[in-house]
Amino acid sequence: MTSENKGPFEWLSGGLIFGKKGGIEGVDSCKDVGALITGMDENLKEICLQQESSAEAAKFLEARSSRLRFLLYEERRITSSQESRRSSPAVAGATVGALTGDSMSHLVPRLLDNLGALPFESRKHVASIVNYLLVCGLEGSDGHLYQPLMNSFRDYVASRYDEIISTLVKGHDCELHGGQADCSLHFGSMLRSCLRHVALYQQLTITTERTQRFVFPFLDKYVHLPNFDVSSDAMETLRIIFTGSSSSGATAHQHDEQTQQAMAEIAANFLTRDYDAIWVQRFPLLLTETANYMTRRMALQILSTVLLTRSNYAVMIKYVAERRNLVLVMKLLRDTSPHITLDAFHVFKVFVANPNKPPEIIKILKDNKEKLCRYLETLHKDREEADTQFRDEKALIIATIEGL
């Protein structure tokens, strides 16, 4: 399948190549979803016992999870290619029914709890299956066929929220699974799939206690982890948590305006409610020289988005009224990285454009008027011809400072 012909869910399948794997013919040809899931449960129990049979159980778990993933994506390939009569998604229906039913409702939490103990390929399969069931009704021309099933799986996650979300959040810590970075990335992708649902996103920060459990670990630890891929992935999750925007780029349009607004308001509520713990105690550390380049850059972009989002008016007014915040942003304006200085400018302009600047903010701008204006005149001069909005904004900011 060429990249041009990939279906809307090929990104979740991890470039799945349809075919037999592992040499376990009975599993490779199995079409009984219930039997595959029951077998995975039995295999997981043996793996957790860490006995001699565990190695064989691991092979079968890998084969069964691979087969289940194949059946799900093969079914999607068929339903997405049918132009007139679309068949009902029997495989997805059987999978959701089994995983959320009384006898197997424990399997998803157990798989997540023991993800680090599973073989490398099994971890990929499990994450892919969970991701698929969480978003299968959000994309594609046949998405409406999958929405009821997706909503059932969403409700299942909601019913076991603390158990599942706690595992997904804690799973970002590489140390918990022997330093296996791929585990952290899988947990990140599954958490972000959860956050595409308003009901699951809202529960993440509905109280200060939940914010402390589910958000602060990102600010306190995960975005500062030494593994670049893991810390960058954690920053992407933090961006979604702070802005309520499910994705940048290709899938951003998938959320309708009403959903986007609802999620933005949810974000505004906790960002305002827990202001000091976030904006005074934690977020500044993401912008200091001790943070790596990517963390500082993404943190600036998150900050800019938050301040310029209408629902965050209360946060914006409070943030731009504080002297320490202006001093920090002015330092970032002089960073050696042109990307960071550009991002810092988009935050700095909010301080200057505020019509109700406190006296201490005015004093800093007046005391540094000449240096600031001289520096801003040369800031990204090469962008002005192609980016007229930047040119006009910069001219307005300079004029405002000169007029103080």
Instruction: Give the H or E element holding residue 244.
Output: none
Question: Any idea which residue has 């059946």 for tokens?
Answer: 71
Written as six digits, the tokens of 333 are 């304006």
The answer as to CATH 3.40.50.720 being correct for domain 160-245+257-314 is no
User: Greater confidence, 59 or 88?
Assistant: 59
pLDDT (mean) for 96-108: 97
Q: What residue type is assigned to position 224 of the chain?
A: H
- How far apart CA 41 and CA 386 sit, in angstroms, is 58
Maximum Cα–Cα distance for the chain, whole Å?
79
Which residue's entry shows tokens 């529960």? 203
- Please give the pLDDT value at position 50: 86
Q: How many CB atoms lie within 10 A of CB 3?
A: 7
- pLDDT for 78: 87
R_g (Cα) of the chain, nearest Å = 24
Among 193-202, 245-254, 299-308, the range scoring the smallest mean pLDDT is: 245-254
CA distances from 390 to 56, 261, 273 (A): 61, 27, 33
Distance CA 261, CA 266 (A): 9
Span 377-400, pLDDT tens digits: 999 999 988 999 999 999 999 999
d(CA 304, CA 67) in angstroms, rounded, equals 44
Q: Is 172 helix (H, G, I), strand (E, B) or coil?
A: coil
The domain spans of the chain are 1-76+90-142, 160-245+257-314, 320-404
Nearest to 153 by CA among 210, 213, 214, 199: 199
Please give the structure tokens belonging to residue 265.
Answer: 């308001």
**Residue from 109, 112, 132 nearest 122 by CA:** 112
Residue 72 corresponds to which tokens in the numbers above? 């799900």
Handedness of CA 287, 292, 295, 296 (dihedral sign): positive
- Name which of 310, 303, 377 is nearest 340 in CA terms: 303
SS3 308: coil
Residue from 31, 20, 138 nearest 90 by CA: 31
Q: Two tokens at 185?
A: 């990335």
**Least confident segment among 26-40, 154-168, 246-260:** 246-260
Closest by CA to 172, choosing from 211, 248, 223, is 223
pTM, entire model? 0.89
Task: Report the alpha-carbon distance of residue 380 to residue 339 in Å, rounded.
Answer: 10
The phi-psi region of residue 179 (left if phi > 0; otherwise alpha if psi is between -120 and 50; otherwise beta) is left
Q: What is the pLDDT of residue 22?
A: 43
How far is the C-alpha of 61 from the C-alpha of 324, rounded, in Å?
Answer: 54
User: pLDDT tens-digit profile of 15-28?
Assistant: 333 334 444 768 88
Task: Please report, to the nearest 10 degrees, the dihedral formed by the alpha carbons of residues 239, 245, 247, 248 taken in order.
Answer: -80
Which tokens belong to 346?
């988009």
- Of 174-183, 216-225, 235-244, the poorest mean pLDDT is in 174-183
